[in-house]
Amino acid sequence: MTIATAAPETHATPEVKSYLGSAGWDLKSWLLTRDHKRIAILYVISITLFFFLGALGALLVRLELLTPAGDMVQADTYNRLFTLHGVIMVFFFLIPSIPATLGNFLVPIMIGAKDLAFPRINLASWYLYNIAGVLVLWAILMGGVDTGWTFYTPFSTTYSNSYVTLTIVAVFINGFSSIFTGLNFIVTIHRMRAPGLTWFRLPLFIWAHYATSLIIVLGTPVVAITLALVAVERSLGIGIFDPALGGDPVLFQHLFWFYSHPAVYIMILPSMGVISELVAAFARKRVFGYHFVAFASIAIAVLGFLVWGHHMFVSGQSAYAGMVFSVLSMLVAIPSAVKVFNWTATLYQGSISRETPMLYALGFIGLFTIGGMTGVMLATMGIDVHVHDTYFVVAHFHYIMVGGAIMGYLGGLHYWWPKMTGRLYPSFWARISAILVFVGFNLTFFPQFVLGYLGMPRRYWAYPPEFQVLNVLSTAGATILGIGYLLPFTYLFWSLKYGQRASDNPWGATGLEWETTSPPPTENFLTPPVVTKDAYDYRDFDETAERRPHLAREEEEYA
Amino acid sequence: MREAHAAHEAHAALQHQFDTLEQQKEASTLGMWVFLVTEIMFFGGLFCAYLIHRRQAYEGFAEASFHLDVGLGAFNTAVLIGSSLTMALAVWAAQVGRGKACFGFLVGTIGLGTVFLGVKVVEYSHKFHEHHVPGERFHWTGAHPEAAEVFYSLYFAMTGLHALHMIAGIGVLAALLLPAWRGRYSAAYHNPVELTGLYWHFVDIVWIFLFPLLYLIGRHG
Amino acid sequence: MWPDFPLVPEAASSVAREVDLLTLGWLAISAFFTTLIAVLILVFFIHYRRRRAGEVGSTREVRTLPLELTWSLIPLFIALGMFVWGVDVFFTVTEAPPDAVEYWVTGKQWMWKVQHPSGVREINALHVPVGQAVKMTMTSEDVIHSFYVPAFRVKRDVLPGRYSSVWFRPTKTGRYHLFCAEYCGTEHSLMGGFVEVLSAEDYERWLATGTTGPTIQASGAELFQRLACDTCHLPGTDPGATPLRAPSLHGLFGAQVALAGGRTIVADETYIRESIVNPQAKVVAGWQPIMPTFRGQVTEEQLAALVAYVKSLGGATPAVAPGETGAEAGEPPRAEETRRGEPGEILAGEEPVTQ
């Protein structure tokens, strides 16, 4: 893509004030901002805090599981810890993560707009997130909730003695935060693209966020009303889901999973969008099969709504319904496989950099493949009977969510960090962290596949002694993984003050975001862009050394 | 003079992220439609729970439904349809720049909406006195007490959620009154009224489904 | 493979190896694709590494459709093939054979209570003879639990208010974990025990040492009288009599039942149980809704006994037409019921039912 006037910039010139400093640093200008970029930064802070809270829950769980006996905390406490881990990680980290941070920052810029369609709704989304966050923290401090993040009835409606209603209110409010983001993205992508930016010239990051937003607006309201019914049932003692009062506990599962399965696609699609961008940028090549990757995102969103019953093969659901869900689950795996093949093919005859974002992208592709294959294993009814509700399932979804989604988030964060902050981070420590994350992750979760097939059920505080070795390996891996997460937290923070200043386009990538300053001005572009090319078009890439001062770091690397 | 004034007003309404008023109008309209889709899914969950429980306990549901006041329900349906008429007229008046007429029709819509809510208050208090409100004080003398309590739980959940949406709608309508009176809406700029109309019609349509499902089970003649 | 570090649990049921084979199938496919992708990535990463600053990848136009079709259709066919295989294994795992002996299980926070057909009861343990197919009909007293025996590769959620079932045919003697696999509260991880599979002689010996009592059908028959069910439904011993106040229960199990209001359902265990605790929920067409509820007056174990008794009154296939009683219901029990006694019959070695 070219803009009308191309001026090679090295860094933000003093006259062009960036969005970071332009409106002042006072708190009010941040807390009442309507700038999508500032809201993205606010979200980075919020979700990072909640990520570490959720990770603390995981750490305590894994410490308890070092020994077969329940000897570190009481059983009740353990149940609250794994619930905390699930609720925080799913609702307060994974669902918002990429859309609310990278999406908020980049969607307007990538399409050449000045902001999202509804900036005030965007800010409201962040406030709703934090109100929900305060409520869930309050619930935790008062003692927490012990139902698991899945709130199965009648345990959650009738038997649990924990702060179920308060937690549900928090999740309910958080749902609206999510809906506002999705609504904003849909309208923005439809109505605010720059001149010349047709649908099939959009970056795949945008396609991914569009598909994600479709899922958000269709699915989230259903879980909202379902959890609201649980809260009402719990408070009033009515019988929608409790059979002792005439209700149906399997109805809860259907309503819950109708959202919660598509929810996992909310968590992975944005990450896949990031990977498309990373692979293109760090192979300096257009993504192979662009149309197929774009359509695959939509196909995943649509098919994702039709497979929820694969969580319920042994629940009492009829075998025939199970068969329908099983075959549809096989279908939904195909577009994901197509993406993996297309990303791999993109590397062929590329010019592949070994920068940190690419390491995360390649790690994602490998780990997502394993996660995806174990997913179709779980969708196979004969196998699921044995491994349902065991550590096999836990391993599967962590391969997708952590090996997939979080690696995509970290890769994207490292890729767009110079754009968002105007700073480069130390690449040595960044690569070390990526490797630690990859190694630590596999050590944590691969043993869990074996544990699950051996029969260790989920949510177990104490377990038979023959499972100990694998649990110890898993906890050891978790420690390494934790260090891998703490390192970026440290050096990225460090780079804000001491990092080398970034040029407009330090990676030499294509995309409208790289044709404005790092960081961008408040209105995103000095001149509104007009788009004349497809995405990832490197044909006009200027290779002459004299006109490449912005690739300073690359020069050092390949000198 | 009026057009110039209207054009100036319209320009003042253009938000910075949009290039033209037309783009802003299209964006906000699409936004309202997407929001209504989320509302369909929101109510949809309740409808789904209702339909499944009704299939499981049809006789109980029919028995419980019989104790709702069909007359009041039908009256409310007429009231709400009437309010959609006044709302549509308010949108028309805004489109042609007739501020005072628009104001009048908005007042009419708010009035009819308030009548609807008033009738619901009456109905709810009837249920309270008959001990048909689910919870500790629920007492059913018919043959299917469990099904009746489930029915009334869904009745209060669905009509209560609907009423909350009506209250929010009346609030938004009230916020349009002053600008309408002052002639702020014209052919060039009337989107807030039009989008409020979309929302109001949606709330009306939800009721059109609620009424037969809740009030008319098994009533044949 | 490695006895000290197993990758799979013991295969102790007739279906275990089938499940393992299915898993192995997917493992082989997964290993192939994962290795393929990993090798390609590694090879490309090295071979096409950036060699100088500012280098760009190939900008050649390529036709993508042939490859896209290939790598869409091949995985699709593999997945569909595995789907079919998976369904086949699923039905093998979940459909009990006709010779399965029925046990009744109640799950509750936080223990499993098992009733043998012979009347023997166990808690958190299950002794069964090797080689015999066993079907567990289960319900919960409180929240959702799940009955899981990894060595048998079977699992089924156990729900309050209804029955679900799981079956297995143990093929190896030994001691195998029984777990609860659906999170159910504080002591979820302690809710379990062992399934002991014994040789036929050891099993007989074990039965003889245990507490004896009436068979579950006999208990049910006794309850049927004590709770005065027979005043409306008539005593079970008289299949020919026509009841005045309530439908006959002979031939009921498995039959189609027309309900007031037009619906038709199949009379399964859940229906029979529901009719005892919530009789107004499904009133049979043509009868008055006068049956009182027994909720709170019977435990789940007693309900199981009553249901087992009603099952023993004949029926058991959906082909029995509604309303048919008399001769067909009075026929001797089929092969699957050989281990159950007739109502009121005292089996050898047991004591008669007392109050």
A353: tokens are: 């950099």
C83 with A334: Cβ contact below 8 A: no
Digit-coded pLDDT (tens) for B108-153: 999 999 999 999 999 999 999 999 998 888 899 988 888 899 999 9
DSSP state at residue A249: H
Question: What is the pLDDT at residue B20?
Answer: 92
Residues of chain C contacting A539 with CB distance shorter than 8 Å: 59
Domain assignment present for residue A16? The answer is: no
Select the residue of C29, C44, C94 nearest A352 (Cβ to Cβ): C44
Distance in Å, alpha carbon of C43 to nearest chain B alpha carbon: 46
What is the rounded CA–CA span in Å between residue C45 and residue C41?
Answer: 6
Helix axes A36-64, A407-421, angle to 10 degrees: 150
Mean pLDDT, residues A438-457: 97
What is the rounded CA–CA span in Å between residue C252 and residue C135?
Answer: 21
For C187-244, give the DSSP string: TGGG-EEEEEEE-HHHHHHHHHHS-----HHHHHHHHHHHTTTHHHH--TT-TTPPPS
Show the domain range for A539. Answer: 33-557
Residues of chain A contacting B45 with CB distance shorter than 8 Å: 221-222, 224-226, 229, 255
Select the residue of C260, C278, C283 nearest B146 (Cβ to Cβ): C278
Digit-coded pLDDT (tens) for A105-117: 999 999 999 999 9
Select the residue of A160, A377, A382 nearest C89 (Cβ to Cβ): A382
Point out the least confidently predicted range of A25-34, A164-173, A494-503: A25-34
Point out the least confidently predicted range of A396-405, A442-451, A500-509: A500-509
3-state SS class at A216: helix
Distance in Å, alpha carbon of A226 to nearest chain B alpha carbon: 7
**Biggest distance spanned by C-alpha atoms of chain B:** 71
Question: What is the pLDDT at residue C244?
Answer: 74
Q: Torsions phi, psi of B35, nearest 5?
A: -60, -45
Closest to C185 measured CA to CA, from A146, A235, A390, A81? A146
**Domains (range + CATH), chain C:** 7-41+72-211 (2.60.40.420), 216-337 (1.10.760.10)
Burial of A76 (0-12, 13-18, 19+ CB in 10 A): middle
Helix or strand run (H / E) with residue C108: strand C101-108
User: Per-residue confidence at A18, pLDDT binned at 50, 70, 90?
Assistant: confident
* pLDDT, greater one: A273 or C339: A273
Mean pLDDT, residues A328-349: 97
Test the A interface: residue of B18, B32, B36, B41 with most A CBs within 10 Å? B41
Q: Is A179 part of the contact surface with chain B (CB cutoff 8 Å)?
A: yes
Residue A51's CATH number: 1.20.210.10
Domain residue ranges in chain B: 45-215
DSSP state at residue A283: H
What is the rounded CA–CA span in Å between residue A508 and residue C283?
Answer: 75
Q: Which residue's entry shows tokens 């992708």?
A: C37
Q: Number of residue pairs across A and C with CB atoms under 8 Å?
A: 284
Q: C153 near C169, Cβ under 8 Å?
A: no
Taking CA A97 as the corner, what is the angle to CA A92 and CA A100, rounded to the nearest 5 degrees?
Answer: 105
Interface of B with C (CB under 8 A): 57-60, 143-144, 146-147
DSSP state at residue C170: B
Q: A495 near A423, Cβ under 8 Å?
A: yes
* pLDDT, greater one: A17 or A399: A399
Average pLDDT per consecutive 10 residues, chain C (355 residues; last block may be shorter): 73 96 96 97 96 90 93 97 97 94 95 91 94 96 96 97 96 96 96 95 87 84 91 71 80 90 88 90 88 90 93 61 32 34 36 25
Alpha-carbon dihedral angle through residues C46, A271, A535, B21, given to the nearest 10 degrees: -160
| Entry pTM | 0.91
* pLDDT, greater one: B2 or A190: A190
Q: Torsions phi, psi of C170, nearest 5?
A: -65, 140
B146 with C260: Cβ contact below 8 A: no
What is the rounded CA–CA span in Å between residue B117 and residue A91?
Answer: 35
Q: A351 near A558, Cβ under 8 Å?
A: no
Q: Number of residue pairs across A and B with CB atoms under 8 Å?
A: 114
Point out the least confidently predicted range of A82-86, A168-172, A240-244, B30-34: A240-244
Q: A57 near A73, Cβ under 8 Å?
A: no
Task: Tell me the H-state helices in C48-64.
Answer: none
Q: Is B74 part of the contact surface with chain A (CB cutoff 8 Å)?
A: no
Q: Domain B45-215: state its class.
A: mainly alpha
Q: What is the CA radius of gyration of chain C?
A: 27
For C17-67, give the DSSP string: HHHHHHHHHHHHHHHHHHHHHHHHHHHHHHHTB--STT----------HHH
Q: Is A58 part of the contact surface with chain B (CB cutoff 8 Å)?
A: no
Chains that touch B (3 or more CB pairs under 8 A): A, C
Decide if pLDDT at A394 tops 70.
Answer: yes
What is the rounded CA–CA span in Å between residue A361 and residue A343?
Answer: 10
Question: What is the pLDDT at residue B57?
Answer: 87
Distance in Å, alpha carbon of A537 to nearest chain B alpha carbon: 28
Mark which residues 183-202 of C lie under 8 Å from A by CB: 183-190
Closest to B133 measured CA to CA, from B157, B164, B166? B157
Residues of chain C contacting A434 with CB distance shorter than 8 Å: none
Distance in Å, alpha carbon of A29 to nearest chain C alpha carbon: 40
End-to-end CA distance of chain A: 28
Q: Is C19 part of the contact surface with chain A (CB cutoff 8 Å)?
A: yes
C153 with A386: Cβ contact below 8 A: yes
Q: Which residue of chain C comes nearest to A380, CA vs CA? A: C86
Q: Is A219 part of the contact surface with chain B (CB cutoff 8 Å)?
A: yes
What is the rounded CA–CA span in Å between residue A188 and residue A115?
Answer: 9
Q: Which residue's entry shows tokens 């343990």?
A: C125
- Give the bridge partners for A174, in sequence order: none
Q: Number of residue pairs across B and C with CB atoms under 8 Å?
A: 15
Interface of C with B (CB under 8 A): 260-261, 263, 278, 280-281, 283, 289
Domain assignment present for residue A24? The answer is: no
Burial of A209 (0-12, 13-18, 19+ CB in 10 A): buried
Domain assignment present for residue A252? The answer is: yes
Mark which residues 151-210 of B lie under 8 Å from A by CB: 153-154, 157
B35 with A183: Cβ contact below 8 A: yes
| CA atoms within 13 A of residue A144's CA, in its CB half-sphere | 19
Digit-coded pLDDT (tens) for A472-521: 999 999 999 999 999 999 999 999 999 999 999 999 999 999 999 999 99
User: Per-residue confidence at A554, pLDDT binned at 50, 70, 90?
Assistant: confident
Q: What is the CA radius of gyration of chain A?
A: 23
Is the ipTM above a cut-off of 0.85?
A: yes
Q: Is B125 part of the contact surface with chain A (CB cutoff 8 Å)?
A: no
Q: A544 near A44, Cβ under 8 Å?
A: no
Distance in Å, alpha carbon of A113 to nearest chain B alpha carbon: 7
Chains that touch C (3 or more CB pairs under 8 A): A, B
Closest to A554 measured CA to CA, from A421, A397, A427, A414? A427
Question: What is the pLDDT at residue A16?
Answer: 64
Mean pLDDT, residues A271-283: 97
Q: How many domains does chain A have?
A: 1
User: Per-residue confidence at B1, pLDDT binned at 50, 70, 90?
Assistant: low
Domain assignment present for residue A241? The answer is: yes
Digit-coded pLDDT (tens) for A195-238: 999 999 999 999 999 999 999 999 999 999 999 999 999 988 88
